[in-house]
Amino acid sequence: MRIFGVLIFLFSAQFILMAEGPLQNGGFTEGLDGWKVVGTKAAVDPGIKLSGNPVLKISIEKPGWNRVSQNLRLEPGAEYELIFYLKCENVVRTDKKLSGVFVSLSNGKNILNYGIDGLWKYSSGTFDWKKASFSFSSKYFADNLNVDLSLQLSTDAIGTFYFSGLRLKKKEPSAKQLSFQMNLFPMNFLKGEPFGICENLPGVLEIGGKAHGKYAGKEAVLTLDVPMFLTLSGVSESLAPLRNGKWEPLAQKCTEKEISRDGIPYRRYTVTFEKYFHLWFGSNWYTQLAFLKAEPGSTGKNGSVYWTFRIGDEFQKEEKGIIRILPSLKADFAPCKSFGFLIARPQEVHSPFPELEKRATEFWSSLSQKPWKFNDAYEKENKAYTNAVMIGGGDLMFPYPESRRNRTALLKSAPADVDDKGKILPRIAPWYWLDDPEKKCEDYLKAAIREWRTAAPWAKKIVWDFEPHPFGLDKGGRTRFAKEMNLSSVPSIDDIQTKYRRLYFDYMVRLHAKLIEKIAGIIRREAPGTEFWLCTDNLHASGERVALWCAVDASLSDGVVDGHMHMPYYSGTRYFDDMAYNVQSFRKPYFPLVDPAERLLRYYQQYTPRKLCQNLLAAAALGGAGFGLWPDNALTGEYYQELLRGYGMISRAEKFYTSGKRCEERFTFTFENTIVKEVRTDSGEKVRIHFPDFFRSIRSVAHALDSRILFTLFNYDEKRDVILRVSGKDLKQAFLVKIPAGGVVTIDSAVLPDQEPLRKELEGFRRTASDDLFREYKEGKSSIFWGATAEKIPVLKLSNGTVTAGIDTFSGGEIITLRDEKGNELLNGGFLGRVSFYDPTQQALPFRTSGIGIRNGVPFIESSAPVLPYEGADPAPNPLYGLQVKRTFALEGNAVLVNISFTNTADKPVVFGFRVGNLPRPGIRFGMKGLRVKAGNVDVTPESVENTVLLKQGKDVPFLEKLKRGIWDGGSLRDSASDGVLTDSMTLMPGKGFSGVYFWNAGPFKPNISVEFLSDMSTLQPKQSKSFEYRVETGK
């Protein structure tokens, strides 16, 4: 039996060798058998291994002809993959382009030479092991498939290099790639979470995707299997195209039959799409809608739905989602009278299914009287709604056929817009719209208005979606700019992006304001009695007040519009603060839009149903005129629940919001379920700091009406409930109120919450809470103590008597304040030590303090974080899950020492790479003048404008691959600012393991330059650890 087993092993090994392909002994397990050596010292060194595998060492001491080779025969028409591992030591090349180490495939006439970085990219210098993988077709070698594979150094170079794991394998033909991708939104973003359908309302799923549109004559079919508690009411287009001279939504052909899946009865619907589907499927504007209806009495039921899709003989594999039936929704409040609601495209209303339209309209009308909607070109007046028309883009595109034809003709005769890359855009230059020397634009607009007034005389509101960007960079636009700014010559696009960037931005903001004024005037003259609303990017309370991408300052147009319907497409405290700022900035009504049904993940993931409710209440409590959903209502039922809850709260509070007087400044809001310590801020002010730190996550609004006060209270902390004590002289007595995590509550001073349960909850908190969290340390000149920034952000401060660093322990755990020996602040809104993985799907690391102390006079703080699973109930496994990260900050002399270590606690290898971000801000005391970062021969200044990646010779990392790479010598980086008299500086000194550095550059108008070290890619075996470190010296 033992002999038999050995025979089997030998046979299996021979089979494996044969299966590797035409290359023999590519792993050098048999020394150099099968290889021919010419002009070089080549040997398989038994003392060197790569993960236990043999290594071929080749040394070239003098330039000359050299090769280690073997002859192969390739198969005709086959695809191959060439794989090898390469390491170089002091490989010195000339300035010739093709100089260095390479692997060659040649039949004497046709040649492919691969270095570690690709075809014809030879390798040189010194670097550790790297893996290369390249694909090619034997068709390249034409009729001669006898090929020499050789390992070579170009004849002008010298040095030592190593090969291991060389393989040449034939690739199996891959399955035919589909020419389309059908998505069922929002199922494709839910990641296994159920899609909710309220029992009395239709569930809307949107059928869209990517395709090339060349499907004429091919049948397109969707198969949808649903549990028996669901029915498919129908499928129709979201936007009806012009078909046979008419604009009418079309119901697609659906058939139904009962089937069984794993013994469970199901309904199978087969939807066959009509011919026009083939023309437009895959276009952004064209989708189909599937309307699902819950059976009566099905509340609480859950079940899987399955779908497949095919066009012709191309089949997309079956996919699966979960449906959950939610309770019926019915308002127990009167619709809001003053606070409006917009559903941009209520999909049921735009469908050919009257019963669905009735149900949806009843729901939307229960929120607010006469809710708004935008009308399609083919629609008649719908008296249940406030009918409005939206016109889009810089060219004011109306949704009517003659207007569209006229715009196409206008595009051919007017100068086109040009962007900041010099690309010609399919729209008219904005300066030409404004100046309109031949009145072509005005004539177009007047004709379009007449067509609109004829087609929809009852639509008395028009909304212009204007998101122009600061372009207009065609020659005519640049000439106009030069004339207005009294420049001696017409600047190039590059000149405008560098020398005149801010000047040009401000110029375009003014130009856009004048254009809005002109358009408003034409509309008022041509359509008297019409309200003209502007839709653009909103103003911002922090950072750039006017978004740099948009270049529209809506406040400049406040006097010429009837209302503002802008786009704060986000949530949280940023939404609240921007909402307050915009209401204060405008005299005209402000009616914000949000986009939870946007079919782009970066927008969709901005929201949850509870966040939407917070946005809604913030809009109402802060004085907004209404709240709108863009682009439609393809939403899970939980959003409907929160809309109903939110509008119910607003309905009951509407008198306060419309007639009451804001008065929150008369009250004190104290966090009670926190541990408290009194400290001094950097400016010397005494403040109380709290843990948990609710300071940044709580917002409050109060309205006084008659003798009552209405409080609207927001908790933007998504993990912790907060108990507030509200006090003030206008209250008979202070009271407690609990705001759930991620929630909002309204409290009428005449009807306070029951205080006894809240008092008992606080007593329990105080019994178990420990003030050991705020422990402080002292040893010689070194100390660790608590303080706060000038903005009252709590920080744990480390000091060694020379430098002092403040760590934001209650948030990201980074250093956010750093004072040098003279007490000068070097960060002031910046940071040190922010860790981010190259993998963009990873969540932010949740660092928590794990160690504090003073060791041999060196104060330090350690924080730890696990890599979290991907978000969602049923996500794909996170390949970095199991990685533990520890970050240590310590002070030594005039320097901060930063150490970041990674430990693999998983039972399989983990491959990762990361960057560690630093945003120094030296010179804040003199306006950060002369800011620059010196990296060897590279000088980065705000005037450089561009973001930059510098890498060590022969290194590369999977980060911003499209960004141009420069060379970094691996040395220190000096970050400084000077006004000619005063100088602040720090030097960042990297340790081992960093391949490069990235500089994010905010440009000259808001000087900020980040210094971010880029790591090598690392592989950690189970229980293995790896550390990286760098040093930040102040005053150097």
CATH number, residue 154: 2.60.120.260
Give the model confidence (pLDDT) of 914-950 as tens digits: 999 999 999 988 888 899 999 988 888 888 767 889 9
72 and 123, same domain (yes or no): yes
Kindly compute the dihedral angle of the four CA atoms of residues 39, 41, 43, 47, in this order, to the nearest 10 degrees. -160
- How many residues are given for the chain? 1036
Given a cut of 60, whether residue 8 has pLDDT beyond it is no
101 and 200, same domain (yes or no): no
Q: CA 866, CA 847: separation in Å to the nearest integer?
A: 8
Q: CA 574, CA 528: separation in Å to the nearest integer?
A: 38
Residue 404 forms part of a structural domain: no
Structural tokens at position 384: 């249940």
For 120, the 3-state DSSP assignment is: coil
Q: What local confidence, expressed as pLDDT, does residue 710 receive?
A: 98
Question: Pairing relation of β-strands 531-535 and 563-564?
Answer: parallel
Cis before residue 186, ω within 30 degrees of 0? yes
Residues 6 or more apart from 950 whose CB is under 8 A from it? 935, 938, 965, 966, 967, 968, 996, 997, 998, 999
Structural tokens at position 979: 């006004």
Q: What local confidence, expressed as pLDDT, does residue 786 receive?
A: 93
Confidence of residue 605 (pLDDT cuts 50, 70, 90): confident
191 and 319, same domain (yes or no): yes
Q: CA 723, CA 709: separation in Å to the nearest integer?
A: 19
931 and 976, same domain (yes or no): yes
Domain boundary among 142, 170, 198: 170
Confidence of residue 989 (pLDDT cuts 50, 70, 90): very high
For 401-425, what is the mean pLDDT? 93
Q: CA 949, CA 951: separation in Å to the nearest integer?
A: 7
934 and 945, same domain (yes or no): yes
Residue 354 forms part of a structural domain: no
769 and 805, same domain (yes or no): no
Confidence of residue 870 (pLDDT cuts 50, 70, 90): low
Tell the burial category of 588 from Cβ atoms under 10 Å away from its Cβ (0-12, 13-18, 19+): middle
Q: What local confidence, expressed as pLDDT, does residue 483 receive?
A: 97
For 431-441, what is the mean pLDDT? 96
Question: Contact, 322 vs 304, CB < 8 A?
Answer: yes
Q: What local confidence, expressed as pLDDT, does residue 174 receive?
A: 60
129 and 238, same domain (yes or no): no
Residue of 557, 473, 458 lying closest to 515 (CA atoms)? 557
Q: What local confidence, expressed as pLDDT, does residue 6 receive?
A: 31
Give the model confidence (pLDDT) of 991-1013 as tens digits: 988 999 999 888 666 788 999 99
Question: Pairing relation of β-strands 372-374 and 386-392?
Answer: parallel
Question: Contact, 671 vs 694, CB < 8 A?
Answer: yes
Give the model confidence (pLDDT) of 200-240 as tens digits: 999 999 999 998 878 888 899 999 999 999 999 999 998 87
906 and 810, same domain (yes or no): yes
Give the model confidence (pLDDT) of 901-913 as tens digits: 999 998 889 999 9
Residue of 712, 540, 553, 691 lying closest to 621 (CA atoms)? 712
Give the model confidence (pLDDT) of 645-699 as tens digits: 999 999 999 999 999 999 999 999 999 999 888 899 888 889 888 888 888 899 9
Q: CA 810, CA 693: separation in Å to the nearest integer?
A: 7
Q: What local confidence, expressed as pLDDT, does residue 18 receive?
A: 31
750 and 780, same domain (yes or no): no
Give the model confidence (pLDDT) of 698-725 as tens digits: 999 999 999 999 999 999 999 899 999 9
Question: Contact, 511 vs 458, CB < 8 A?
Answer: no
Give me the phi and psi of 541, to 5 degrees please: -75, -25
DSSP-derived letter for residue 671 is: E
Residue 71 forms part of a structural domain: yes
Residue 1006 forms part of a structural domain: yes
The enclosing H or E element of 816 equals strand 815-819
Given a cut of 70, whether residue 488 has pLDDT beyond it is yes
Q: CA 179, CA 185: separation in Å to the nearest integer?
A: 19
Given a cut of 50, whether residue 872 has pLDDT beyond it is no
Residue of 664, 652, 624 lying closest to 746 (CA atoms)? 652
Question: Contact, 663 vs 702, CB < 8 A?
Answer: yes
898 and 1020, same domain (yes or no): yes
pLDDT above 70 coverage of the chain, percent = 96
Structural tokens at position 817: 């304040």
Q: CA 960, CA 963: separation in Å to the nearest integer?
A: 6
Structural tokens at position 297: 């009495």
Domain boundary among 719, 747, 773: 773
The more confident residue out of 962 and 520 is: 520
779 and 769, same domain (yes or no): no
Q: What local confidence, expressed as pLDDT, does residue 945 receive?
A: 65
Residue 336 forms part of a structural domain: no
Q: What is the DSSP string of 245-295?
A: TEE---BPEEEEEEEEETTEEEEEEEEE--THHHHHTT-TT--EEEEEEEP
Report field, pTM of the whole predicted structure over 0.75: no
Give the model confidence (pLDDT) of 570-584 as tens digits: 999 999 999 999 999
3-state SS string for 567-625: CCCCCCHHHHHHHHHHHHHCCCCECCEECCCCCCHHHHCCCCHHHHHHHHHHHHHCCCC
Residue 544 forms part of a structural domain: no
For 245-261, what is the mean pLDDT? 89
Residue of 988, 819, 794, 801 lying closest to 893 (CA atoms)? 801
Domain boundary among 118, 144, 170: 170
Give the model confidence (pLDDT) of 807-846 as tens digits: 998 888 999 999 999 999 999 889 999 999 998 778 789 8
Tell the burial category of 157 from Cβ atoms under 10 Å away from its Cβ (0-12, 13-18, 19+): buried
Sign of CA dihedral 607, 344, 467, 284: positive
What is the span of the domain harbouring residue 881?
775-1034
Residue of 810, 846, 806 lying closest to 829 (CA atoms)? 806
Residue 335 forms part of a structural domain: no
Question: Contact, 819 vs 812, CB < 8 A?
Answer: no
Residue 68 forms part of a structural domain: yes
80 and 197, same domain (yes or no): no
The count of structural domains within the chain is: 4
Given a cut of 70, whether residue 875 has pLDDT beyond it is no
Q: CA 105, CA 95: separation in Å to the nearest integer?
A: 24
The more confident residue out of 425 and 1007 is: 425
Q: CA 471, CA 169: separation in Å to the nearest integer?
A: 51
